Structure 1
Amino acid sequence: MILLGYRDHNVHELVCHEIANRAGYYDRLGIEVKAVPGSDHPEAALSAGLGGSLVEAIRGQRRWKVALVHTLHPLFWIWTRKAGTRSAGPTALASHPEGSIVCAFTQKVLSARWAADEVPSVLHFPAGSTGDHQRLEALRSGAADAAVLGSAFAPSALSRFGLTDSLFFGDALRFPTAGVAVDCERTSLDHPSVGKIVAAQTAAIAKVRSRDPVALDAVASLLHDSSRTDAQRLLADYLSPQYGPDPRDVRAVGADALEWLAGALQTGAHTATDFYEAVR
């Protein structure tokens, strides 16, 4: 059994794994792969969450390197309760834990979008499904007037709650997002099992791009409180057009991402300079 750790139970992080399971790609390659919460399974040698893995690599906590990147468009949004909030800017934003990659994304898009005196105060909530629901509840209850939510929720489903998509992170920045990272202290990038997982998930990317029924089934199975039509729209509008980046773009965007994140985390010297170099 191979453990694939995930950072958050978002569609964009797990959809290729789910397709590989459903389409029988893992079975045909003779491997068994189980997705597990990375925080509960530090022994997992593989990670689906590339942003969180890069944070750990920069901080010297683990020796992650990337074997596959699914997309360069982070699938997170800022949602507000009223369309009018967009022009003035929110005053309180429900976001992710301090020090997390999504928190860093949030600070980056806020500073780019609003002047320093207009940047909202940030309320930090836990990672994972618990935090997803807490951020949504904070927004709907009025405890916050904006919230950062990922692809665990379909945008069309959130719109039915009367919420407004104020900003899509994937339009505001590019960052190698979701895929397969390898902890080189626990296994090798060249290990046959890693190659098989990369092959299976690369085949899954093709299913996402073609909007194959197995991809739709996978998306629908991963969403919170959403219909099959919501899943279809998420697949068509956000996943299919953006999955399967050119490796040359991955390395170029990754170099910029690494420089920015090292500065944002204020780590100084680090050993993650070759984090993306294995992507081919």
Structure 2
Amino acid sequence: MILLGYRDHNVHELVCHEIAERAGYYDRLGIEVEAVPGPDHPEAALSAGLGGSLVEALRGQRRWKVALVHTLHPLFWIWTRKEGTGSTGPTVLAGYPEGSIVGAFTQKVLNDHWSAEEAPAVLRFPAGSTGDRLRVEALTSGVADAAVLGSAFAPSALSRLGLTDSLFFGVALKFPTAGVAVDVARTSVDHPSVRKVVAAQTAAIAKVRSRDPVALDAVASLLHDSSRADAQRLLADYLSPQYGPDPRDVHAAGADALDWLAGALHTSGHTAAEFYEAVR
């Protein structure tokens, strides 16, 4: 059994794994792959969450290298209530844990796109499904005037709650997001089982791009509180146009991403070529 750790149980991390299972790609290659919460399974040699893996690599916690990148567009949004946040941005934000990759994304997009003299007060909620629901509740109840939400909720479903998409991270920045990272302390990026996982998920990317019914089924199965029509819109508007980047674009975006994140984390001694060299 191959364990694939995920950082957050959301669509953009797990859709290709789910398609590979549903379409029988893993079976045809003679492998069994189980998606498990990464923090609970440090023995997992593969990771679906590339941003969190890069954070751990830069901090010297794990020896991750990327074997496959699904997209360069982080699927997170800042949502607000209908009255909006104005040009200065939110004052109270329901966000992710401090030190997380999504927390770093959030700080970057706030600095780049809003003009507030003071940073917003950030209410920290955990990653994962519990945190997703708590952030939505904080926003809809008025405890926060903005919330960072990932692809566990379809944008069209959140719009029906009276919320407004104020900023899509996938437009605001490029960052190699979701895919297959390999802990080379545990296995090699060229190990046959790893190459089979990469082959299966590469085939799954093609299903995403073509909006194949199996991709729609996979998206629908991963969403919270959403209809099949919501899943179809998420697939058509955000996943299909953005999945399957050219390796040259991965290396270019990866170099920028690593430089920025290393600066944000105050680390040094790593290169993008080292982290993304196996992406071909």
> How much does 1:88 deviate?
4.5
Quick one: distance in 2 between partners of 1:60 and 1:16? 28
Q: Which amino acid in the other structure matches residue 110 of structure 1?
A: L
- Corresponding position of 2:162: 162
Cα offsets for 1:27-55 (capped at 9, x unmatched): 00000000000010000000000000000
Structure 2 residue 80 is matched with structure 1 residue 71: no
Residues 63 and 245 of structure 1: CA distance in aligned 2, closer, same or farther (over 3 Å): same
| 1:210-263, Cα deviation, whole Å (9 max, x unpaired) | 000000000000000000000000000000000000000000100110000000
Of 18-27 and 77-86, deviating more is: 77-86
Q: Secondary structure at the match of 2:39?
A: coil
Match of 1:265 in 2: 265
Partners of 1:176 and 1:250 within 8 A in 2: yes
Alignment size in residue pairs = 280
Query: C-alpha separation between the residues in 1 aligned to 2:210 and 2:271?
Result: 38
What's the secondary structure of 1:39's corresponding residue?
A: helix
Displacement of 1:183: 0.2
Residue in structure 1 matched with residue 251 of structure 2 by the alignment: 251
Deviation at 1:121? 1.9
TM-score, normalising length: structure 2: 0.98
The offset of 1:86, in angstroms, is: 4.0
What is the CA deviation profile of residues 107-134 of structure 1, one whole-angstrom value per residue up to 9, with x for unaligned ones?
0000001225053222111111111111
> Do the aligned partners of 1:64 and 1:275 also contact (CA within 8 Å) in 2?
yes
The corresponding residue for 2:212 is 212
Q: Which residue number in structure 2 is paired with residue 241 of structure 1?
A: 241
CA–CA separation in structure 2 for the residues paired with 1:246 and 1:271? 20
Structure-1 residue corresponding to 2:180:
180
RMSD: 1.2
Identify which range, 115-124 or 65-74, moves more after superposition.
115-124
* Whole-angstrom CA distance in 2 between matches of 1:10 and 1:20: 16
Whether the aligned pair in 2 keeps the contact of 1:59 and 1:270 (CA below 8 Å) is no
Name stretches of at least 5 consecutive residues in structure 1 with no aligned partner. Answer: none
Aligned sequence identity (%):
85
Could you tell me which amino acid in structure 1 is paired with residue 120 of structure 2? P
TM-aligned CA deviation for residue 270 of structure 1: 4.3
Alignment partner, residue 150 of structure 2: 150
Q: Which residue of the partner structure matches residue 6 of structure 2?
A: 6
Please state if 1:95 is matched with 2:84.
no
Whole-Å separation in 1 of the counterparts to 2:217 and 2:258: 34
Q: Spell out the pairing of 1:9-88 with structure 2 (5 A cutoff).
A: 9-88=9-88
The answer for unaligned runs of 5 or more in structure 2 is none
Partner of 1:194: 194
CA 1:135–1:185 in 2, change beyond 3 Å: closer, same or farther?
Answer: same
SS of 1:98's equivalent in the other structure is: coil
Q: Which residue is equivalent to 1:137?
A: 137
The one-letter code of the counterpart of 2:238 is: Y
User: Are the counterparts in 2 of residues 220 and 228 from structure 1 also a CA contact under 8 Å?
Assistant: yes
Q: Distance in 2 between matches of 1:249 and 1:86?
A: 34
Q: Letter of the 1:254 partner, please give it.
A: G
8 Å CA contact 1:57–1:271 kept in 2: the answer is no
